[in-house]
């Protein structure tokens, strides 16, 4: 999908869209492409000290499935199966999800950087 939905993930189906509409649009767009539908979640966190800028990036690779599964999480979690797992992010225990998520990875990097300076 040429990087879509990208930074517009919350507004993918329009400025007033919700998770259901965004997920439906994503699945509709993917119908035009052969499986597997590889994807990744990316989070960037930036710290600026007034002198230094530090950017941390966390990523988790996986695939998009054709039917939503699970009730935990939000956004694209019911459609995203992370590499190495059989469950979607929305099916994983929150403790597991939070330990492998792109957000955790980015902010863990940022935390380590801040503790080292």
Q: Could you tell me the CATH number of the domain that includes residue 43? A: 3.90.950.10
Does 4 score more than 90 pLDDT?
no
Q: Which domain holds residue 99?
A: 37-116
* 69, part of any domain: yes
pTM: 0.91
* 18, part of any domain: no
* 59, part of any domain: yes
Residue 27: count of CB within 10 angstroms of its CB? 16
pLDDT of res. 2: 83
Question: Which of 40, 24, 30, 26 has the alpha carbon at shortest distance from 81?
Answer: 40
Average pLDDT on 73-100 reads 97
Domain count, the chain: 1
Q: Which segments of 53-93 are extended strands (E)?
A: 53-64, 80-82
Distance CA 109, CA 113 (A): 6
26-49 pLDDT, tens digit each: 999 999 999 999 999 999 999 999
- State whether the Cα torsion 39-66-31-8 is positive or negative: negative
H-run or E-run covering 101: none
Does 117 score more than 90 pLDDT?
no
Tell me the pLDDT of the chain averaged across its residues: 96
* 8, part of any domain: no
Does 21 score more than 90 pLDDT?
yes
């Amino acid at each position: 999908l040429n990087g879509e939905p990208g930074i517009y993930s919350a507004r993918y189906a329009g400025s007033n869209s919700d998770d259901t509409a965004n997920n439906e649009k994503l699945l509709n767009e993917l119908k035009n492409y052969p499986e597997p539908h590889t994807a990744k979640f990316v989070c960037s966190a930036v710290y600026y000290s007034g002198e230094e800028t530090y950017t941390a990036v966390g990523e988790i690779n996986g695939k998009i499935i054709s039917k939503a599964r699970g009730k935990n999480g939000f956004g694209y979690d019911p459609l995203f199966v992370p590499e190495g797992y059989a469950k979607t992010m929305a099916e994983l225990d929150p403790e597991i999800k939070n330990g492998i998520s792109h957000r955790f990875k980015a902010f863990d990097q940022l935390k380590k950087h801040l503790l080292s300076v």
